[in-house]
Structure 1
Amino acid sequence: MKTLLTGHSRGLGDALARDLLGRGHHLLGLGRSGNAALAHDFPQHFSEQALDLSDLAALTRWLAGVQLRDFLADADQAVLINNAGMLQPVGPLGSQGDADIARALALNLGAPLILADAFVAATGHCTDRRIVHISSGAARNAYAGWSVYGATKAGLDQHARAVALEQLPGLRIASLAPGVVDTDMQAEVRASDAADFPQHARFAALKADGQLSTPASAARRLADHLLGERFGQSVDGDLRSL
């Protein structure tokens, strides 16, 4: 199994990489930061490419090369996990800033759609190919202060719904919310100003009450579903209910 994973350096991405490498996958990580621990622990099956996925020009230049096609060339089964994302800008409309909005749109939505297109183009020979977008409850429930984040995640959901209708040979796709996971993004949520994010107290309480999933447990649940026969039946689900 060949797996392409974005945002593999920390949090859920690092946990997913470890879980899948432990299952024998050959994994190519894409991200701005590397993961030396994965390279040390899985030298035969892990490779990575330093790439700022919010820089769509850099992404398209990389895709014009041969690394992705070469990585997938001998695969019979292949997976793309669009995990990289960012929460910022947090705050009401009028305070978000054009540069921060553009970066969030590129990283959270533009890069996943571009990679999905390139992945499908490079895997026409595969009998089993799967794409999962890491979505969020914010895609389906609006939160004041998270208009940009929620809109980008909702875009991933709609992309998966439309692609599923295309019924491309051998392709399954889903946009899945992993639940509330104890990652750096959750720490960022708790550090945000309540004036910018009125739900601040609720998310702080989840941490205080021990209601956050660990990255390892969320990764295991996601990998089990991603690799199972039921993957793709729920195109825009929540892992906690699958």
Structure 2
Amino acid sequence: MTDSVLSPSPVRAIVTGHSRGLGAALAELLLERQIDVLGVGRSGHAALASRECAAAPRFVEASLDLANPTAVEQWLASGALENFAQGAQCVVLFNNAGTVDPIAPLGAQDANTIARAVTLNVAAPLMLANAIAAVQAQERRIVHISSGAARNAYAGWSVYCATKAALDHHARAVALDAPVGVRIGSVAPGVVDTGMQATIRATRVDHFPLRGRFEELKQTGKLATPGDSARQLIDYALSDAFGASPTSDVRELAQA
């Protein structure tokens, strides 16, 4: 990409689901660019926490079950987000945490799993986006991690497709009335080799008929690495081009 990129020094980033997969890669690469990171999720990232210098921490964590709306509301009310963002010129939110479960046809899905998925995949990102838009910073950038499933229907993925489509449409609507200094984009990262892919490959074929396609992607080495996808996402999120379109795909951005 040829767009100019914000200087990393005044930027701080929040990454949800930062303990593994794409979220861990995002946190690690942001720190390498000297960008302070607040990781938010149920699990911590022990390696990152241990390697950061105690005298000048660039990495902090918040232990939070993002599938529990009451817990998210209470954390937001605590002021932790505003404290982290204080003094930053640009605050970037990577709404990365998510789940592909339940993978099953309608009528065979667990009700509690549906509720947790909708909260984790939709309610929590929207609550965090709302909070970021209100912080005191010259620029606030909201990056929803979307999916091809937001734009294409897949048997067995009705909940996942619906929740990712919700993020896309949220970005479209926010783009129409975003406050000054707020940019938003719902970005599909491609098919990334993460634990979610392992879950997909372990699913019964009668619950997910396209399982063979994902098994082939793994066997033929066609899955993107978390590091490569994270690098593309960060480059785009910090570029002048971010937010010009409310929805995008890193594979298309790489060809631009």
Report the TM-score, using the length of structure 1 for normalisation: 0.97
Quote the residue 1:87 is aligned against: 100
Among candidates 182, 190, 202, match of residue 179 of structure 1: 190
2:23 maps to a residue whose letter is G
Partner of 1:24: 34
3-state secondary structure, aligned to 2:72: helix
Match of 1:9 in 2: 19
- Counterpart in 2 of 1:209? 220
Matching residue's letter, 1:99: N
What letter is aligned with 1:36? A
Corresponding residue SS for 1:205? helix
Q: Which runs of 4+ in 1 moved over 4 A?
A: none
Aligned to 2:48: 38
Say yes or no: does 1:107 pair with 2:89.
Answer: no
Counterpart selection for 1:194 from 198, 205, 220:
205
Question: AA paired with 1:163?
Answer: V
Q: Where do residues 11-160 of structure 1 align in structure 2 (5 Å cutoff)?
A: 11-43=21-53, 44-122=57-135, 125-160=136-171
Q: How many Å apart are 1:41 and its aligned residue?
A: 2.5
Query: In the aligned structure 2, how far is the partner of 1:113 from the partner of 1:93?
Result: 25
Equivalent position amino acid for 2:181 in 1: G
Kindly indicate whether the alpha-carbon contact (under 8 Å) linking 2:143 and 2:187 is maintained by their aligned counterparts in 1: yes
CA distance in 2, matches of 1:42, 1:3: 16
Equivalent-residue separation in structure 1 for 2:68 and 2:178 (angstroms): 30
**Structure 1: gaps of 5 or more residues:** none
Retained in 2: the 8 A contact 1:52–1:59?
Answer: yes
TM superposition shift of 1:72? 1.1
Question: In percent, how many aligned pairs have the same letter?
Answer: 55
Distance in 2 of aligned mates of 1:167 and 1:119? 12
Per-residue CA distance 1:114-172 (angstroms, 9 max, x = gap): 010111112xx322210000000000000000000000000000000011111321111
Contact 1:21 1:42 in 2 (8 A): no
| 3-state SS of 2:248 partner | coil
**Structure 2 CA distance, aligned partners of 1:91 and 1:46?**
38
The offset of 1:192, in angstroms, is: 0.6
- 1:240 is aligned to 2:255: no
CA deviation after TM superposition for structure 1 residue 98, in Å: 1.0
The answer to whether structure 1 residue 219 and structure 2 residue 240 are counterparts is no
Q: CA RMSD in A?
A: 0.8
TM-score by length of 2: 0.92
Deviation at 1:173, TM superposition (A): 0.4
